[in-house]
Every structure is written in C-alpha cells, then in structure tokens.
Amino acid sequence: MERRNFVKSAAATGAGLLILPAGVLAGKGAQDKLNIALIGAHGRGSQHYGALEGENVVAICDVHGGNMALAAKQYPKAKQYIDWRKCIEQKDVDAVMICAPDHHHAFISIWAMNRGLHVYCEKPVGECVAEAREVRKVYLANKNKLATQHGTQRHANENFDRVSELVRGGAIGDLQEVKVWGNRTHNKTGYLPAVGPAPKDIDWEQWIGPVQMHPFNPGYFGARPGAGCLLWNMYHDFGSWQIGDMGSHTMDLAWNAIDAGQPTSAVADGDPFNPEVVASDLHTKFNFPAIDWRGPITVEWYQGTLKPQSPNSAIDILKISHGAMFTGTKGSLIADFNARILVPGRSGADMTYYNSPKSNEVAPEHGSFVGQWINACKSGNLKTSCDFDYAGRMIETLMLGLAAHQAGKELQYDSATGRVTNDSAANAYLTKEYRKGWVLNG
C-alpha cells in the first residue's frame, strides 16, 4: 500500500491543522494565490466558499440569475459568465472548480484540461462509460502538468484508510467479494412536463447544455436557488441517480481498498429499465481480475430498497444507510463513512493470522480535501488522492452497470478498447447522444 509522505505547515496553528504534501513549502509559488473559476457558483458551489477563502476566485459562472447574485456578494470582483465555455477562456484563470449539474461535468473537465487548467470536479466525473473514459484519457495525457480532484470529499475521513488497511492487511483473510449500497429512493416515472418558458433569470438553453432538449419546468430548480441535485439527477439526461451520486461516495469506500482496474463483466437487475429515469431499485454486479496482492473478486452495488444479506444476525444492515461490506476467507468487514465492524469467521477467529500495522505504518490524515487539490496545483507535486485516473476507473465501472441494466443481460467488457464484446448493440449504451454544436473533447 502506498504511504503518503506529509509535512505540517508551519502556519497551521489554532483550532485547525492543515497537513500539506511534502514539498509544498518549497514549491514554486506555494505562497501565491490560485486564480480559480467557480462554475456552478452557488448551491453546491457555496459549500466550497470556506475552502477557497485563501485563493482568488476571479470568475463565477451560473445559468441562474439568483445564484449569480448570491455568488457575486461573496466574490464582488469576479467576472461573471453564463456560458462556461467563455468562462474557461478567461486569461488569468489557473484552475476551475466544477459544481454545475452532472451532465456538464465531463465536458467542462475535458475542455478545461485541454486549456491547461487544473480541475476540481464534483462527482460523478462522467455520466456514461464513454465520458468517464474520455476524462481519464485527457487527464493521463496531462498528468505531469495538471492536478485534478474528484469531489468525493468523504475520502478524507480517516475511516477510509483504516478500512483499506484492514482489507489489504488480511484482517478478513483473502478478499473474495465486496458489496456496496445506498438507500435513497425516488418515485419519478418521466421528465417533468412543460409549463411555459423559463423566467428571464434562468438561461434554460445553457442549463440543458450538451444533452437533448427538454421543456422547462421549475421543478428542476425548486423553490430557492441551489435547492439540490435530488430534483433532477434521477433523469437519464441530467444524472445517474444514486449509482453516480451517493454511489460515487460509497463505492469510493470500497475502491480505496480493492486496488481495482476496470471490470471484465457487468450484470444488473432491479426495477424495469425506463428510458427517462434511472431505476430507483437497482443491483449491479461486476467481475474484476486478480492482481498481485489479491485474487479475482466480485463487486456489487445495491440501491433503493435492495440490500445485501448481513453476515451476522446481530448486525442490522438495514440501519446502515450507505455502506460497504468486504468478505474474505476469514470473515467480513462492514463499514460506513465513519465507522467499521470486523466480523471474524466462526472458525479460526483468534486473529493470529492478522498482523496489525504499527503506528508509523498507517496512512496519515488527509487534511482538507479541497486544500489537498489547491496545494497540488501550487506545489508542482500534482498528486491528489482522488485524481481523474482513480475516479475515472470507478465511474466507468458504475456507468457500465447502468449499461448492463439497459441491455437486460450480462455484458462482457474489454476495458482496453472500452467495448462490449458479447453484444455489439449494447455498445450504444456506453455513450450519449449530444445536441448539435456540442463536442465532448473540445
């Protein structure tokens, strides 16, 4: 397991301790401020205002006039944009933070990297297999000059590394399977109906962006600016419901431990496929090949009312809203974002087979998740814990599960080419159709 080398900032005093990657303090421009464009300037964007206090937000972009007005109070000197394509062309911008609706994420990330900009993108980084792969490809071509971070901020919880250390260290024996779940549900059956033109303070054309046009309905926005992604992310053109939303966070708990590449197959079941909304109840299963420290494993995702079976009647998995369970030859490990339960097997449960790490062998605290990205941008170190290589592989996997659900059969997958090998028609489910004039890699 990789050990991160960290140093403490001499400036970190008082209530908070900022932990910076080694080399930051000596890095060129380490004390300079980063010029950031905030795309999606309120709502989720506002939750990053605190983390951006020490930097220069020089541009703000939002399609909602109410959001823009609120963001302008926070950043009165920032230039204002409705179209993110114009925003990323601003000459003094060093980096972008993307908090726009999910269907814009891959586009903005790729376009920004192509212009030499560091990128922080809220999850998921793509809304289909092809988008996730393209984001990862562009990042890998630029990884020696750009810092990226995927907005799975729970990754900074110390529990993520403790879980990884237990699994990789053999606390449950040889890893065999992983099951991950989230319990959110929805009752939508189709896109919202037309109710007339959008108000003057909402640029509906720009909100729709690259995906197919749908009529305006205020229900996508709620009663106040920044009302939340749960108003629109169950619709196929705008999001991927929980497999891409909380699934990004919860699968990250597993992904951090299993050292996965890409799956060789995927199959799914649950609610019948609906071409307009993602299934509320959904179960997907992926096969991953063996690597140097573990054998082949299966990884499963459950959402809605579906859950895996508990390994012990004393543990009620139904009470864990979002969690992961790792099963090995010697027992199971159940975790949520902040805690973990080790359940040794009924025989051989003396744990003598497990050598726990010493205090100097465990991963140190991550510190600020956004701060890690900012430090990477400024230090030249560029390394973050959830870069677009790590996150791109995870989102590619999750989106392959949606493709398998649409196909209604198990898909054999060639990750080298990004193609389904046993059903040529299913390859259409790996991509999206975009409106004329919108190019993913622009």
Question: Which domains are delineated in the chain?
Answer: 6-154+369-387 (3.40.50.720), 157-186+241-363+393-428 (3.30.360.10)
Give pLDDT, residue 225. 62
Give pLDDT, residue 13. 26
Strands (E) located in 26-100 = 35-39, 56-61, 79-81, 95-98
Provide the sign of the torsion angle of the four alpha carbons 230, 102, 180, 422, taken in this order: positive
Strands (E) located in 231-275 = 265-270
Which residues 6+ apart lie within 8 Å of 344 measured at CB?
172, 330, 331, 351
Give pLDDT, residue 309. 96
Nearest CA among 117, 39, 33, 93 for reference residue 378: 33
Query: What span, in angstroms and rounded, lies between the C-alpha atoms of 216 and 199?
Result: 9
Reported as half-sphere exposure (CB side, CA atoms, 13 A), residue 96 has a value of 31
Helix%, strand%, coil% for the chain, nearest 5: 30, 20, 50
Give pLDDT, residue 130. 98
Query: What span, in angstroms and rounded, lies between the C-alpha atoms of 68 and 82?
Result: 9
pTM higher than the cut 0.75: yes
Give the chain's residues under pLDDT 50: 1-28
The DSSP call for residue 157 is S
Query: What span, in angstroms and rounded, lies between the C-alpha atoms of 135 and 160?
Result: 25
Strand ordering across the sheet containing 56-61? 79-81, 56-61, 35-39, 95-98, 118-121, 148-150
Reported as half-sphere exposure (CB side, CA atoms, 13 A), residue 232 has a value of 20
